[in-house]
Chains A and B, each alone.
Chain A
Amino acid sequence: MLNPLSVRNLSKIYKTTTAVDGISFEVSRHEIVGLLGPNGAGKTTTINMILGVLEPSSGNIVIEGLDIARERTKALERTNFAAVYAQLPGNLTVAQNLKVFGLLYDIEHLSDRIEMLLAEFQLEVFRNVKCGLLSSGEQTRACLAKALLNRPRLLLLDEPTASLDPSIAKDIRSSIKHLAEREGMGVLWTSHNMYEVEDVCDRVLFLSRGKIMMQGSPKSLLHEHGHETLEELFISVAHNQFPETEGRP
């Protein structure tokens, strides 16, 4: 079975600034991978390149065996994303947005799928409310509903729970975990909430200055680097105290 995501030697250079520096990693089916790092580490740049809205300077992105540079449409049919900075258009209702994006992904039985997602994310009462009038937590749930419209094989989540209260954030995390298990979806998840990362991620990649500084399961990394919490480890990486160990399992 093909991996939902395979990234090889991916780089992005803006004139003299290297935003992403030759990173390689994979996301397997049923796996939730945390992409961590301080601000400016290259997380969002990496996600934008995987989404095809930013052209890499070099390297390959392969989604379920499809190279996004050559088979963009087919690759993106298998992908979706939700990000705290990319809310759905506020001038359409939740149902209208889901209908429009459902057509963009050419989804069969779209009305049924929309109803299912409205129920799953407790959005039924907001179906006819314009997204711009929703609270930030409700908007995030609408974004997540859109992100799951096409039953993606690869789901990219950029700080998806940043504006949610702890209770809803917990529900969202368990919902995503459940979906990854049930649908065989691969998830690439960025977050600055280390508690969340420990809870939800099977594996984490620490990015700093565009390079993967370390990767492994949260528990093994803590053990390996002698830290009590992921937050401590994060701060160490942010201060660049670790040598590059890219490719370490």
Chain B
Amino acid sequence: MISFPRVAAIVLRQWYLMKGSFSRILPNVTWVAVDIILWGFITKYLAAITASKFDFVPLLLGSVLIWDFFVRIMHGISMAFFEDIWSRNFLNLFSTPLSIAEYLTGLVCTSIATGTFGLAVMLLLAIGGFGLSFARYGLLIFPFFMILFLFGVALGISGIALVLRLGPASEWFIWPIPAILSPFVGVFYPIETLPQWMQLIARILPPSYVFENIRSIVSGGQASMQSLGISTVLAVIYILIACWIFTRVYRRAVRTGLIARYSAESVS
């Protein structure tokens, strides 16, 4: 059973770190702001040079915003985990009654907080600066965000499992994951644009269904509830797989004694 105070302890630790550190808060604002401003001007430029009345703002800027939310969620989990690595806190943490489920729940709650903060900044800039409106998506905007959130959680947990298994030096594996995935999920173009083998990969990635639906709605079509259902199920399966992998890696670390002496020096 999950203990609320223990989950709260993991979140509170991150809150204490954030509130006292400008350098921890700034990255949550900077990268998303840069992305929104950059893509905001690109959409404006595209609207100016194309003769069609096609509205690029909800398509491109909306997609960038939802994708960046996914990235914030994934990195939110990773960063909270890295704070424990950097302060060599594993022995202190895991010798308490804290369970793996409580620890992961705490990391996810932290990422919800940091992801929501980043999202608020993005919305402020995108709506205020470039006139983004989600009105066209209606209530479907919620499942869009939910699917990206679930997939972000799955990749965040998988990423920290990788770092726990391979050591802190493998941290750099995590940061490019969203960039590697983005060509496959079709953030900016239809999946049909991709070669066949890339389309096959796209079909097993939940975000690709979200972006396909966004394009469909912006082009005046209907959203496919079936494809949203498939992507939700896929995202949940990925979370279950990620939790299973993390638990296996953690148990191995307890068997080998790695948890008690985990640091950059103890794991190459």
Chain A residues at the B interface, C-beta cutoff of 8 Å: 14, 45, 48, 51-55, 72-74, 76-77, 79, 81, 83, 86-93, 96, 99-106, 146
CB of B180, distance to nearest CB on chain A (Å): 31
Closest to A83 in B: B91
Residues of B within 8 Å of A74, CB to CB, are 97
Report the Cα distance A90→B88, complex, angstroms.
Answer: 9
Q: Which of B89, B90, B97, B251 contacts A105 (CB 8 A)?
A: B97
Q: Which of B8, B9, B90, B255 contacts A101 (CB 8 A)?
A: B9
Question: Once the chains bind, are B259 and A72 in contact (CB under 8 Å)?
Answer: no
Known interface pairs A53-B91, A55-B255, A73-B99; 16 further A-B residue pairs with C-beta atoms within 8 A, sorted by A's residue number: A14-B257, A48-B260, A51-B95, A51-B260, A53-B260, A54-B254, A55-B254, A72-B97, A76-B95, A92-B17, A103-B8, A104-B5, A105-B96, A106-B3, A106-B5, A106-B6
Is the CB of B196 closer than 8 A to any CB of chain A? no
Question: Once the chains bind, are A103 and B5 in contact (CB under 8 Å)?
Answer: yes
Give the B interface residue count (CB, 8 A): 31
Question: Once the chains bind, are A81 and B13 in contact (CB under 8 Å)?
Answer: no
Question: Once the chains bind, are A76 and B96 in contact (CB under 8 Å)?
Answer: yes
Q: Which of B93, B255, B256, B260 contacts A104 (CB 8 A)?
A: B93
CB within 8 Å for A73 and B16 given contacts A89-B87, A91-B87, A106-B3: no
Report the Cα distance A96→B87, complex, angstroms.
Answer: 14
Residues of A within 8 Å of B256, CB to CB, are 14
CB within 8 Å for A92 and B96 given contacts A48-B260, A86-B91, A106-B6: no
The residue among B13, B83, B254 with the most chain A CB atoms within 10 A of its own CB is: B13
Question: Once the chains bind, are A101 and B5 in contact (CB under 8 Å)?
Answer: no
CB of A147, distance to nearest CB on chain B (Å): 10
Question: Once the chains bind, are A53 and B3 in contact (CB under 8 Å)?
Answer: no
CB within 8 Å for A104 and B96 given contacts A48-B257, A86-B91: yes
Report the Cα distance A74→B3, complex, angstroms.
Answer: 12
Q: Interface readout for B134-172 with A: 1 if CB under 8 Å, 0 if not? A: 000000000000000000000000000000000000000
